[in-house]
Structure 1
């Protein structure tokens, strides 16, 4: 007899909370074996794979969610992050733009788009967007100061003006 999906999801979340992502991944796989298009399991599996640095597999999970729910903003946001981490900044920016089309003031999407713009060499555009994000939520000022994607521009006057 197969385990109930609800129980598997609950136990997987407990494992994640305890810092056991690999064990949680096994349970998400069990859910997906029973129901291959289960959105929550796909989203959580993508999240775990991202934590494990398996970004190509992460992207596949989010694509599977988007294929069945083209308005899933979390899937677009996380897919954008995965593309950002593998250096595909233009694809990442398009994902963040999908979120921003629905939620123009989504600070997480704005911040990550700014980061991808800077990482891709579009400094002025990225810094302008970063400034906008900080105006919406000042906590991003501190985050930017310590973000590895901004470290190479940390000494620029424009960056200092935004983050001081």
Structure 2
């Protein structure tokens, strides 16, 4: 097993045990060896996002996208980080890149719907939410509980979709 593989295993084990600081140490050691290690960049981005450090996470997702401009995990996670920073237009751009190549990505449609609704583009958001639910029914339950949709819960258009 190579040193990088061993560090990935240690990082994942630390993460699984809830020790994200230790996991970050392992993933950063990987980047010291190979700054273009996509998996380590993604893991660091995800850990930073988990801790609400969205701007820092975006830096890691951008490094992945420099290597592969259509890395779905980097795009979806960058979109989510941008959404949490309330940069909805930028989040939507990430989602649209994915949907241009994969129009049936339920998670992307759902996230796009969420960002559109947060921009008060309710009808557009609900159209994308309908598409996401048609592909994956579990998004109906998710939407009914999602804080991003709370302010439209009483609207008949929303009720028709989730009830």
TM range (shorter): over 0.9
Q: Name the counterpart of 1:38.
A: 37
- Contact preservation (8 Å) 1:73, 1:98: no
After superposing on structure 2, the runs of 4+ consecutive aligned residues of structure 1 that deviate more than 3 Å are none
Matched, 1:4 2:30: no
Q: Name the counterpart of 1:146.
A: 145
- Alpha-carbon deviations, 1:18-55, whole Å to 9, x = none? 12212111111111111111111001110111101100
Structure 1: any 5+ residue segments left out of the alignment? none
CA shift, 1:122, in A, is: 0.6
Root mean square deviation, CA, Å: 1.0
1:59-70 equivalences under 5 Å are 59-70=58-69
Q: Distance in 2 between matches of 1:132 and 1:36?
A: 38
The count of corresponding residues between Structure 1 and Structure 2 is 162
- Contact preservation (8 Å) 1:117, 1:125: yes
1:18-29 equivalences under 5 Å are 18-29=17-28
Q: Distance in 2 between matches of 1:144 and 1:29?
A: 36
Q: Distance in 1 between matches of 2:70 and 2:89?
A: 20
Q: Distance in 2 between matches of 1:53 and 1:37?
A: 24
Q: Name the counterpart of 1:130.
A: 129
- Contact preservation (8 Å) 1:100, 1:109: yes
- Alpha-carbon deviations, 1:80-119, whole Å to 9, x = none? 0000000000000000111111111000100000000001
Range with greater deviation from structure 2 (140-149 or 129-138): 129-138
- Alpha-carbon deviations, 1:135-164, whole Å to 9, x = none? 111110000011110011111111111000
SS at match of 1:70: coil
